[in-house]
Amino acid sequence: MSKKPAGKKSGAKNKSSAKKSSGRGGRDLTVRVKTAKGRKGSSTRWLQRQLNDPYVAAAKRAGLRSRSAFKLEELDDKFEFLKPHMRIIELGAAPGGWTQVLVSRVGTEKPGSKAKIVAIDLAEMDPLPGAEVMLLDFMDDEAPEILKNALGGPADAVLSDMAPKITGHPNTDHLRIMGLVEAAYEFATEVLTPGGCFVSKVFQGGTEQTLLTDMKRAFANVRHAKPPSSRNESAEMFVVAQNYRGRNTE
């Protein structure tokens, strides 16, 4: 992959091109998908949304593995938590859009770089130069220790784009996503170096108050954000916790 599409300067360019999907005469062209026999209506709607999503098209043009790469770029452009030489653990990495951005922005492939990225998912993910990719379920009891050994030292950042299978029942989905967030946060407090950051997907409604209180005690800055590239109809948001104070402050 060319590093330019996922870099800081390319972020604005990619976002700009993502918003320009005009057809002849400046009119937007919408691809409509007929429901094939045997295909669920929800599948048809998903396919039509993908075909008409400017961020999906922009990701393909930039050589990015997923549109979610733009979300991480936008979050980092706003909060500036990614720095050169960082050591990072990424949870829920497949298919690798976030990982591509991380490789570019922390410079794992640059000569003399001390950066390291360990990216895991329970789904298969193609190898990516500049990152150690592991097939692993984070919720397995042995996963945290495996990750610590793979990184070989404290982490400067723990990022999680993990999400459960959506049931469509808001309360159930919120409980499931919060279970993942809590597990990722607990792990982050075990591996982060002082000054480190934790970034995680949550659902609208934000972070549960008890967990949010813990985060504010452990981190100097805790904020919620919804990146511009996150679909309006999506309930996802992200919590960005920066400047970890250390376990003795929890």
Show which residues are catalytic.
201
The three-state secondary structure class of 62 is: helix
User: How many CA atoms are closer than 13 Å to the CA of 151, on its beta-carbon side?
Assistant: 26
Residues with Cβ within 8 Å of residue 42, at least 6 apart in sequence: none
Question: Given the structure tokens 């922009």, which residue do they identify?
Answer: 58
- Residue 37 phi/psi, 5-degree rounding, is -60, 130
Return the amino acid letter for 62: A
Side by side, which strands form the sheet with 116-121? 132-135, 116-121, 87-91, 155-160, 192-203, 236-244, 219-225
Which is it for the CA torsion 95, 98, 99, 104, positive or negative? Answer: positive
* Radius of gyration of the CA atoms of the chain, in A: 19
> What CA–CA distance (Å, rounded) separates 172 from 193?
33
Do residues 1 and 100 make contact, with C-beta atoms less than 8 angstroms apart?
yes
Q: Angle CA(84)–CA(86)–CA(90) in degrees, nearest 5?
A: 125
Alpha-carbon distance of 156 to 102, in angstroms, equals: 12
Go through the chain and tell me how many residues it has.
250
